[in-house]
Protein backbone atom coordinates (compact mmCIF):
# COMPACT_ATOMS: atom_id res chain seq x y z
CA UNK A 1 0.00 0.00 0.00
CA UNK A 2 1.54 3.27 -1.16
CA UNK A 3 0.20 6.44 0.42
CA UNK A 4 0.71 10.08 -0.38
CA UNK A 5 1.37 12.17 2.74
CA UNK A 6 -0.14 15.68 2.57
CA UNK A 7 -3.89 15.65 1.97
CA UNK A 8 -4.04 11.86 2.16
CA UNK A 9 -2.51 10.52 5.38
CA UNK A 10 -2.28 14.00 6.92
CA UNK A 11 -4.55 17.01 6.58
CA UNK A 12 -3.65 19.28 3.67
CA UNK A 13 -1.36 22.18 4.53
CA UNK A 14 0.46 24.55 2.19
CA UNK A 15 4.12 23.47 2.44
CA UNK A 16 4.10 22.12 6.00
CA UNK A 17 7.55 22.75 7.43
CA UNK A 18 7.32 21.85 11.14
CA UNK A 19 6.41 18.59 12.83
CA UNK A 20 3.36 20.18 14.47
CA UNK A 21 2.02 21.04 11.00
CA UNK A 22 1.22 17.35 10.51
CA UNK A 23 -2.22 16.23 11.68
CA UNK A 24 -3.67 12.85 10.70
CA UNK A 25 -6.73 12.81 8.47
CA UNK A 26 -9.83 11.61 10.32
CA UNK A 27 -10.13 7.84 10.52
CA UNK A 28 -6.78 7.09 8.89
CA UNK A 29 -5.10 5.50 11.92
CA UNK A 30 -7.64 2.70 12.52
CA UNK A 31 -7.99 2.04 8.78
CA UNK A 32 -4.23 1.69 8.34
CA UNK A 33 -4.01 -0.55 11.41
CA UNK A 34 -6.62 -2.89 9.88
CA UNK A 35 -4.70 -3.05 6.59
CA UNK A 36 -1.44 -3.68 8.41
CA UNK A 37 -3.10 -6.51 10.37
CA UNK A 38 -4.20 -7.97 7.03
CA UNK A 39 -0.56 -8.05 5.92
CA UNK A 40 -0.27 -4.87 3.86
CA UNK A 41 3.05 -3.07 3.76
CA UNK A 42 2.46 0.64 4.42
CA UNK A 43 4.73 3.02 2.54
CA UNK A 44 4.45 6.79 2.31
CA UNK A 45 5.61 8.22 -1.03
CA UNK A 46 5.60 12.01 -1.09
CA UNK A 47 6.72 14.89 -3.27
CA UNK A 48 8.45 17.44 -1.04
CA UNK A 49 9.44 20.26 -3.36
CA UNK A 50 9.65 22.57 -0.33
CA UNK A 51 13.20 21.25 0.11
CA UNK A 52 14.20 22.29 -3.43
CA UNK A 53 12.36 25.58 -2.99
CA UNK A 54 14.37 26.34 0.17
CA UNK A 55 11.28 26.45 2.39
CA UNK A 56 12.66 23.79 4.76
CA UNK A 57 15.68 21.51 4.92
CA UNK A 58 15.89 17.77 4.54
CA UNK A 59 16.71 17.59 8.27
CA UNK A 60 13.43 19.42 9.04
CA UNK A 61 11.60 17.04 6.71
CA UNK A 62 13.01 14.06 8.58
CA UNK A 63 11.72 15.54 11.85
CA UNK A 64 8.27 15.80 10.28
CA UNK A 65 8.49 12.16 9.26
CA UNK A 66 9.41 11.20 12.84
CA UNK A 67 6.27 13.06 13.94
CA UNK A 68 4.20 11.17 11.37
CA UNK A 69 5.55 7.85 12.63
CA UNK A 70 4.69 8.89 16.22
CA UNK A 71 1.15 9.93 15.25
CA UNK A 72 0.57 6.58 13.56
CA UNK A 73 2.19 4.64 16.41
CA UNK A 74 -0.53 6.08 18.67
CA UNK A 75 -2.93 3.97 16.54
CA UNK A 76 -0.74 0.86 16.56
CA UNK A 77 0.53 1.52 13.02
CA UNK A 78 4.14 1.14 11.89
CA UNK A 79 5.19 2.43 8.48
CA UNK A 80 7.41 0.12 6.44
CA UNK A 81 9.01 3.11 4.76
CA UNK A 82 8.83 6.77 3.85
CA UNK A 83 10.19 7.75 0.45
CA UNK A 84 10.31 11.36 -0.66
CA UNK A 85 11.29 13.41 -3.66
CA UNK A 86 13.03 16.67 -2.69
CA UNK A 87 13.36 17.86 -6.31
CA UNK A 88 11.63 20.51 -8.36
CA UNK A 89 12.93 21.93 -11.62
CA UNK A 90 12.02 25.47 -10.44
CA UNK A 91 13.73 25.06 -7.06
CA UNK A 92 16.10 27.58 -5.48
CA UNK A 93 18.49 24.92 -4.15
CA UNK A 94 20.63 24.33 -7.22
CA UNK A 95 21.45 20.66 -6.57
CA UNK A 96 17.74 19.87 -6.26
CA UNK A 97 16.45 22.06 -9.10
CA UNK A 98 16.20 19.20 -11.56
CA UNK A 99 13.67 17.07 -13.39
CA UNK A 100 13.86 13.58 -11.95
CA UNK A 101 12.27 10.14 -12.09
CA UNK A 102 11.11 10.17 -8.49
CA UNK A 103 8.73 13.16 -8.56
CA UNK A 104 5.18 11.94 -8.96
CA UNK A 105 3.61 11.38 -11.49
CA UNK A 106 6.86 9.58 -12.31
CA UNK A 107 6.90 6.15 -10.61
CA UNK A 108 10.45 6.25 -9.22
CA UNK A 109 9.53 6.36 -5.51
CA UNK A 110 7.16 3.41 -5.85
CA UNK A 111 9.61 1.38 -7.93
CA UNK A 112 12.45 1.97 -5.46
CA UNK A 113 10.26 1.07 -2.48
CA UNK A 114 9.04 -2.07 -4.25
CA UNK A 115 12.62 -3.26 -4.78
CA UNK A 116 13.78 -2.28 -1.28
CA UNK A 117 10.81 -3.85 0.50
CA UNK A 118 9.87 -6.73 -1.83
CA UNK A 119 6.45 -5.28 -2.68
CA UNK A 120 4.41 -6.84 -5.50
CA UNK A 121 3.30 -3.79 -7.49
CA UNK A 122 0.34 -5.39 -9.28
CA UNK A 123 -1.17 -6.35 -5.91
CA UNK A 124 -0.58 -2.88 -4.47
CA UNK A 125 -2.55 0.34 -4.29
CA UNK A 126 -1.41 3.94 -4.61
CA UNK A 127 -3.71 6.22 -2.59
CA UNK A 128 -3.46 9.97 -3.04
CA UNK A 129 -5.30 13.23 -3.41
CA UNK A 130 -3.81 14.40 -6.73
CA UNK A 131 -3.87 13.09 -10.27
CA UNK A 132 -0.07 12.92 -10.06
CA UNK A 133 -0.53 10.19 -7.43
CA UNK A 134 -2.85 8.31 -9.79
CA UNK A 135 -0.35 8.72 -12.61
CA UNK A 136 2.54 7.41 -10.52
CA UNK A 137 0.49 4.43 -9.41
CA UNK A 138 -0.57 3.55 -12.94
CA UNK A 139 2.98 3.90 -14.26
CA UNK A 140 4.23 1.59 -11.53
CA UNK A 141 1.52 -0.99 -12.29
CA UNK A 142 -0.57 -0.45 -9.15
CA UNK A 143 -4.26 -0.01 -8.65
CA UNK A 144 -5.08 3.56 -7.65
CA UNK A 145 -7.43 5.49 -5.39
CA UNK A 146 -8.06 9.22 -5.67
CA UNK A 147 -9.36 10.80 -2.46
CA UNK A 148 -10.87 14.17 -1.71
CA UNK A 149 -13.98 16.20 -2.42
CA UNK A 150 -15.77 14.85 -5.43
CA UNK A 151 -15.54 17.26 -8.36
CA UNK A 152 -12.38 18.83 -6.94
CA UNK A 153 -10.24 16.86 -9.38
CA UNK A 154 -12.23 15.43 -12.20
CA UNK A 155 -10.13 13.04 -14.22
CA UNK A 156 -9.39 14.46 -17.67
CA UNK A 157 -10.39 12.19 -20.58
CA UNK A 158 -6.74 11.82 -21.61
CA UNK A 159 -5.41 10.94 -18.14
CA UNK A 160 -5.54 7.66 -16.27
CA UNK A 161 -8.73 7.14 -14.31
CA UNK A 162 -8.37 5.95 -10.72
CA UNK A 163 -9.64 2.48 -9.90
CA UNK A 164 -11.40 3.93 -6.87
CA UNK A 165 -12.69 7.44 -6.13
CA UNK A 166 -13.79 8.42 -2.60
CA UNK A 167 -14.40 11.56 -0.57
CA UNK A 168 -12.00 10.59 2.22
CA UNK A 169 -8.84 8.58 2.73
CA UNK A 170 -10.50 6.59 5.50
CA UNK A 171 -13.28 5.55 3.11
CA UNK A 172 -10.79 4.48 0.44
CA UNK A 173 -8.74 2.47 2.95
CA UNK A 174 -11.89 0.82 4.29
CA UNK A 175 -13.00 -0.22 0.80
CA UNK A 176 -9.53 -1.52 -0.06
CA UNK A 177 -9.41 -3.43 3.23
CA UNK A 178 -12.83 -4.99 2.59
CA UNK A 179 -11.43 -6.58 -0.60
CA UNK A 180 -7.79 -6.93 0.47
CA UNK A 181 -7.27 -10.56 -0.51
CA UNK A 182 -8.88 -10.24 -3.95
CA UNK A 183 -6.56 -10.45 -6.93
CA UNK A 184 -6.54 -7.46 -9.31
CA UNK A 185 -8.57 -8.03 -12.45
- The residues spanned by each domain of the chain are 2-178
6 is catalytic: yes
156 pLDDT higher than 80: no
**Which positions make up the binding site?**
4, 6, 85, 87, 100, 102, 129
Decide if pLDDT at 155 tops 80.
no
Residue 110 main-chain phi, psi, to 5 deg: -70, -40
Q: Identify the CATH number of the domain defined by range 2-178.
A: 3.40.50.1000
Q: What is the pLDDT of residue 159?
A: 72
Give the pLDDT band of residue 151 (cuts 50, 70, 90).
Answer: low
Looking at the predicted structure, is the pLDDT value of residue 19 above 90? yes
Among the listed residues 4, 90, 178, 181, the single catalytic one is 4
The pLDDT of residue 29: 98
Using CA atoms, how far residue 94 sits from 33, 87, 100, 159, in Å, is 40, 10, 14, 31
Identify the active-site residue in 6, 21, 116, 181.
Answer: 6
Say what the pLDDT of residue 167 is.
Answer: 95
Q: How confident is the model over 157-184, as a mean pLDDT?
A: 88
Q: How, if at all, do strands 81-85 and 125-128 pair?
A: unpaired
- What are phi and psi for residue 123, nearest 5 degrees? -95, 0
Interval 85-136: pLDDT, tens: 999 999 999 999 999 999 999 999 999 999 999 999 999 999 999 999 999 9
**Predicted pLDDT of residue 47:** 97
Annotation: binding site for Mg(2+): 4, 6, 129
Terminal C-alpha separation, the chain: 17
Task: Report whether pLDDT(157) > 60.
Answer: no
Mean predicted lDDT score pLDDT of the chain: 93
Q: Annotated binding site for Zn(2+), which residues?
A: 85, 87, 100, 102
**Residue 51's CB: how many other CB atoms inside 10 A?**
23
Per-residue model confidence (pLDDT) at position 184: 72
Amino acid sequence: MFLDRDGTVTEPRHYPSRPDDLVLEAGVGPSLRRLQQQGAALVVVTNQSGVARGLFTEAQLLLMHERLRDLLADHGVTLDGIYFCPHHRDGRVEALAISCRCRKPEPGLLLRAAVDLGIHLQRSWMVGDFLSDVGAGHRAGCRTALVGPLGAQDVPPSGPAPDLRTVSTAEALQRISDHFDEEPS
